[in-house]
Chain A
Amino acid sequence: MKFGIFHELSVGKPWTPESESNVYHNALDQTVLADQLGFDQVWAVEHHFLEEYSHCSAPEVFLAAAAARTERIRLGHGVMVVLPPFNHPARCAERAAALDIISKGRLEFGTGRSATWTELGGFRCDPDNTKDMWDEAVRAIPKMWTQETFSMEGKYFSMPERAVIPKPYQKPHPPIWVAVSSPETAIQAAERGIGCLGVSIGTPGEYEQRVKDYRKAIRSAEPVGDFVNDQVNGVTFLYVDETDKEAEVWGTKLAYNFAYLAAHLIGISSVYPTAAYKTPGLLFGLRQAPKGERAPGGGGVIREGMGVGSPQTVIRNLKMWEELGVDRMLFILNAAESVPQEKVLNSLRLFAEEVMPAFEGRSDSSIRGAAADPALPMP
């Protein structure tokens, strides 16, 4: 199993003129260290208007800065919202290709459709249509990358024939993913031959069936791109310290603050009656934890499988994910800077020294060129 980090860039109140800058630069420093320590991916979300929870509305800028300061780590859009009211699909293709060039082929292209009224309402985007919008865009963008010119008369966007440039550095194109927070989307990812980017903070038990369904469905994928990306990523919190007791203090602060900020957003399924959003998405998994559920010695928000504890505890927890067939775990390192930066960096170092060696295949976590190593051959 491999490991990556996942940035929301949450900025807690009270805000000062330096608050956002501190969060951005702390996250960049974490990324530089993660690159040096052998983490193989860094992901940055795209969220809009989610005050405190995520101030990462221009992830391509953050990731470009990360590209300039790192050597090996792959750079993930976790995700780019590919809905035309947010981002015209041609602009998505252009920006992603530019980032792939700047990073010399290190882009992982995550796609998604947003799960909050705060964002969809902000762009006057009808929640009923987002799945179809996403589908149209995720099929169009690989063609923009691989065809000399592209034209489209779609339901949600259209454009006359144009050369969408630049083209990605990776040939034929970067690996494509979709944010998955429901069983249905896991299967839809597999059917399209794209990676399963788990974005809900659940337990291994909650992911188990989803991973099985994805693995089964991807055998008959009809890929939207030129190859199948069959990787499964999960996401959880990371705080490692010498003892469980010390780790739980800071891990609980991290998980609690993340969940508390998330609770103040307006999830689509909580306000808008639609069959298009059956689950609350990334935001609300933690607060649905049954009362008193906790990992050994953990706080109320510390759940089974989280990367919180001593190295031995974290190894034990992450092995659960490995046994499910999850290829990579991504870690949320901080929330509203509730963990001091030096402790975050020490946690990363301790993880690299004492946890990473316990996982097989970590030595393969170097840059994985999409064309050089397609997960499955073209049908």
Chain B
Amino acid sequence: MPDHGALSEDRVAHTGPVPAPLYPAPPWFLPGARILKIMFETDKEPVLQWLPPKLTRSSPPYGTITVEDYPESPVGPFTVAHQFIGCRAGFFIRGFALQSVVSDPIALSALREVWGFPARLGDVSLATEGTVVRASVSAAGSLLCSLSLEDSEPIGADTARFDPSLTLRLVPSLQENMRHDLIQLMQIDPDVTIADAVRGRGAVEYPAASPWAVLPNRNIIAATACSMDTELPLARFVMPY
């Protein structure tokens, strides 16, 4: 009998290549993070167009953009911006990740492959000057979105809320007539320890041609900025699409 290989499943890296993954396995601890979060009412049509069938829209429909600066992570500092659709999974409040931009190529790979964020490489800036927080999101040399929080005032850390994210775990198919070999919904539910939080007058603007304009800002709901320790955790739930 020929000799069989001895690479047991538990010794395979969490992602390819098998012996030398690009990035460490989750969870990733992310201390000292700064996050700007702006929620806004948006249109019903794009929300329904882009939500998976298991998810339902709120009334009124809303979107959320977060701009996140991580000075420390297992792959070094990076910044990331996410655009979410506010939605419901059964009885529960969730944000479905529609688009993301991340500043670091290794973080990009991990966010796509492990956590299912629809990320592309780009530039994400987040800066605070006095009572103003400004952020911008760009990719391939084009501005996608600019955001601001003005006239910030401190709020209790217990009033700032971060809803769990839902992402798509996709394994593309190489079989004919098959688009995916696997498509699942994942719930990413990080713990957050908020050190301080402010809220203020929020603004979200997109250049007309920006793909992020798919969720137009019709009415700002709330803008908050927080400093916190957080994480990119293991998925809380993985569900069939």
Contact = CB atoms under 8 A, between A and B. Distances in A.
Contacts of A263: 88, 90-93
A54 to B, nearest CB: 11
A263 B199 CA distance: 25
B62 A271 contact: yes
Given A266-B221, A269-B161, A271-B222, 13 more contacts: A51-B59, A118-B60, A260-B91, A263-B90, A264-B57, A266-B62, A271-B86, A271-B221, A273-B156, A273-B161, A274-B159, A275-B155, A287-B91
Contact of A49 (B56, B59, B86, B222): B59
A361 interface: no
Which of A118, A264, A265, A286 counts the most B-chain CB atoms under 10 A from its CB? A264
B224 interface: yes
Given A121-B41, A260-B91, A275-B156, A50 B59 contact: yes
B160 A273 contact: yes
Given A121-B41, A272-B222, A287 B92 contact: yes
B204 to A, nearest CB: 15
A260 B88 CA distance: 10
B197 interface: yes
B142 interface: no
Contact of A121 (B86, B92, B221): B221
A346 interface: no
B159 A275 contact: yes
Contacts of B197: 273
Contact of A264 (B59, B219, B221): B59
Contact of A273 (B91, B163, B224): B224
A145 interface: no
A269 B221 CA distance: 12
Given A121-B41, A273-B161, A274-B159, A264 B224 contact: no
Interface of A: 49-53, 117-118, 121, 259-260, 263-266, 269-275, 286-287
A118 B156 CA distance: 23
Contacts of A117: 221
B39 interface: yes
Contact of B39 (A264, A271, A275, A286): A271
A121 B57 contact: no
B53 to A, nearest CB: 16
B59 A265 contact: yes
Nearest to B64: A271
A118 B219 CA distance: 12
6 contacts: A264-B88, A266-B62, A266-B221, A270-B161, A271-B39, A271-B62
Contacts of A270: 93, 161, 163
Contacts of A264: 56-59, 88
Nearest to A262: B91
A370 B90 CA distance: 44
Which of B39, B160, B163 counts the most A-chain CB atoms under 10 A from its CB? B39
Contacts of A272: 221-222
B96 to A, nearest CB: 14
A50 B155 CA distance: 28
Nearest to A288: B91
Contacts of A286: 91
A41 to B, nearest CB: 29
A287 B224 CA distance: 26
A287 to B, nearest CB: 4
A74 B197 CA distance: 47
Given A264-B88, A273-B222, A287-B92, A118 B59 contact: yes
A374 B197 CA distance: 48
A261 B138 CA distance: 38
Which of A49, A266, A274 counts the most B-chain CB atoms under 10 A from its CB? A266
Nearest to A127: B222
B166 to A, nearest CB: 15
Contacts of B222: 271-273
B59 A273 contact: no
Given A259-B91, A273-B160, A273-B161, A265 B58 contact: yes
Interface string B201-221: 000000000000000000101
Contacts of A269: 161
Given A117-B221, A263-B91, A273 B57 contact: no
A121 B58 CA distance: 14
A49 B219 CA distance: 16
B221 A273 contact: no
Nearest to B222: A272
Nearest to A259: B91
Nearest to B159: A273
A266 B60 contact: yes
Interface in B105-162: 155-156, 159-161
Contacts of A260: 90-91
Interface string B57-77: 111101000000000000000
Contacts of B90: 260, 263
B219 A121 contact: yes
Interface string B173-207: 00000000000000000000000010100000000
A118 B59 CA distance: 7
Contacts of A259: 91
Closest 10 pairs between A and B when the two form their complex, measured CB to CB: A287-B91, A273-B159, A263-B91, A272-B222, A273-B155, A273-B160, A51-B59, A273-B199, A271-B221, A273-B224
